[in-house]
């Protein structure tokens, strides 16, 4: 029985791969491909030939294209399948009115960790205590008043 258990344990452990599984999303080697772009000479068609269609185009300005690359790998067996983010690159391309690359910005995982997020909150400029609100509230309270309902039921 012990020999069978040891054989099964050896088979189980030997089937566990030591090579970490990688899951890639978006483009591959974005940081190396960006070196092919020449500011002021590369146009939108050249960018499509190098990278393909953009991951997203800005909704406010069609001359801002964004390309994304992410790579996750499995951690050790003891972490039970949790994944670690290895790469998270974002390339932002800015085009001028002639569709030439005007500027580019590569944001990697280190720069993303340093981004400041605004903590400001927008204050509402209206109040719930307006005249109309108070009138409608009092009407609703009168309609839903239990004493009025009881009087109507008693008359019937």
pLDDT tens figures, 100-155: 999 999 888 777 666 666 777 777 666 667 788 888 888 888 888 766 555 655 66
How much is the pLDDT for 46? 93
Query: 34 in a domain, yes or no?
Result: yes
Query: 153 in a domain, yes or no?
Result: no
CA distances 38 to 42, 49, 50, 51, 101, Å, are 5, 14, 12, 14, 7
Query: 35 in a domain, yes or no?
Result: yes
Query: 111 in a domain, yes or no?
Result: yes
Query: 109 in a domain, yes or no?
Result: yes
Question: Structural domain of residue 49, as residue ranges?
Answer: 20-115
Cβ(42)–Cβ(96) below 8 Å: no
How much is the pLDDT for 65? 94
Query: 62 in a domain, yes or no?
Result: yes
How much is the pLDDT for 134? 83
pLDDT tens figures, 75-111: 666 666 677 777 888 999 999 999 999 999 988 877 7
Q: Flag whether pLDDT at 51 surpasses 60.
A: yes
Which phi and psi (to 5°) does residue 74 adopt?
-70, 145
Q: Into how many domains does the chain fold?
A: 1
Query: 14 in a domain, yes or no?
Result: no
Query: 47 in a domain, yes or no?
Result: yes
């Amino acid at each position: 029985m012990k020999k069978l258990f040891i054989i099964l344990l050896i088979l189980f452990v030997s089937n566990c791969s030591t090579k970490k599984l990688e899951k890639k999303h978006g483009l591959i080697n974005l940081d190396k491909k960006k070196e092919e772009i020449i500011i002021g000479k590369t146009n939108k068609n050249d960018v499509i030939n190098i990278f393909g269609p953009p991951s997203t185009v800005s909704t406010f300005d069609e001359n801002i294209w964004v390309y994304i690359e992410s790579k996750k790998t499995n951690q050790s067996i003891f972490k039970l399948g949790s994944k670690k983010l290895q790469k998270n690159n974002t390339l932002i391309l800015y085009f001028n009115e002639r569709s030439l690359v005007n500027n580019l910005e590569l944001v990697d995982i280190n720069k993303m960790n340093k981004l400041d997020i605004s903590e400001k909150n927008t204050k509402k400029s209206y109040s719930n205590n307006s005249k109309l609100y108070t009138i409608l509230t009092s009407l609703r309270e009168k309609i839903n008043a239990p004493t009025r309902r009881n009087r109507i039921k008693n008359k019937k």
